[in-house]
Amino acid sequence: MLTERYLQIFVTLADEQHFGDAARVIGITQPPLSQGLRRLEAMVGAKLFERGLGRVELTPAGVALLPYARRALSAIDEFHDAAIAQDPDGPEIRLGLAPEVPASVGAAVAAACGEAVHGSRVTVTSAPTSSLVGQVSSGRLGLAVVLHPAVLDGLQAGPVTLLRSWALVPTSLHPDDGQPLPLRKLDGLPVAVRPRAEAPAARDLFLDTLGLHRPGGGTVVVTDDRAGLAMAAAGQAIVVTPDDSLQAAGVGRHRLIDDPLPVRLRLVWPQPRTPNALPPEVMAQLTEALAEP
């Protein structure tokens, strides 16, 4: 079946005249781009490009069909715009937030969504980074704030925002609440971490950095920061979090000297022609909102 993605590959490759450049513009790697082109050529029954040294050129069949592909993509865009205009309640913006996103940051991005698209309804979903990436890729979400690094599966992404972390430490271990500490001094207790499957690449970076600065102590897996905070209050764990609202009796808050474990966040969203994708200028506004927590 002739799909929007095949047309996008055709038009982008015609514009860029280079497989690597076209793949970067679309947000995929070269193998799926080449595979998509082969399937498109099989469907239309004609060779669309001549491959050369580092570049490609349209065949006569490609030249003849390119205007039709451009008009088809334009018609799809018009259909999406018309569908949004028919919604009596205004467009819905479906926002996903990773659990590690502090409440104040998530609220700022959600508010920016409502301001950027007048009359919109913002719905918010919280899920692990790995799940959010899949939901944005499939179109179930319009955008999401996820942990970095992550495998983004062809999605577009804004710049990485770094949030400073607090170490929540039982006062029995470090009685001086508020005193900055080097990470290597936080020994004697495991650090609470969420399951690796929720964000494998980001969790590996965290654990590698933790092991570099703090060889001993280990980690303990918790379901969320609240469970970690409860373990800290019981004198059983240390929590590293960007959320400055987490607190409990018997738990001190410490900045980590040189901030070796910042929480890295970035906004991800689908390709421009994906259903429910927001306009580029809107995504630029939302990216700024995330950068100013």
Query: When comparing pLDDT for 53 and 231, which is higher?
Result: 231
CA of 161: how far to CAs of 9, 30, 100, 154, in Å?
A: 31, 28, 13, 20
- Do residues 64 and 200 share a domain? no
Q: How many domains, the chain? A: 3
Residues of the domain holding 107: 92-160+265-291
Most confident range, picked from 108-117, 128-137, 258-267? 258-267
CATH number at residue 80: 1.10.10.10
- Do residues 74 and 97 share a domain? no
pTM of the model: 0.71
- Do residues 182 and 210 share a domain? yes
CA 274 to chain centre: 16
- Do residues 132 and 175 share a domain? no
- Do residues 240 and 274 share a domain? no
- Do residues 126 and 142 share a domain? yes
> Maximum distance among all alpha carbons in the chain?
77
Confidence at residue 120, expressed as pLDDT on a 0 to 100 scale: 76
- Do residues 180 and 252 share a domain? yes
- Do residues 254 and 173 share a domain? yes
Please report which confidence band the pLDDT of residue 81 belongs to, taking 50, 70 and 90 as the band edges.
Answer: low
- Do residues 67 and 146 share a domain? no
CATH number at residue 242: 3.40.190.10
- Do residues 25 and 69 share a domain? yes
Confidence at residue 3, expressed as pLDDT on a 0 to 100 scale: 81
- Do residues 184 and 131 share a domain? no
Residue where a domain stops, chosen among 69, 85, 101: 85
- Do residues 156 and 275 share a domain? yes
What mean pLDDT value characterizes the chain?
A: 87
pLDDT digits (tens, 9 = 90+) for 4-38: 888 888 998 998 888 888 887 776 778 888 888 99
Question: Measured between alpha carbons, how far is 240 from 243 in angstroms, rounded to an integer?
Answer: 9
pLDDT digits (tens, 9 = 90+) for 145-177: 999 999 887 788 989 999 999 999 999 888 877
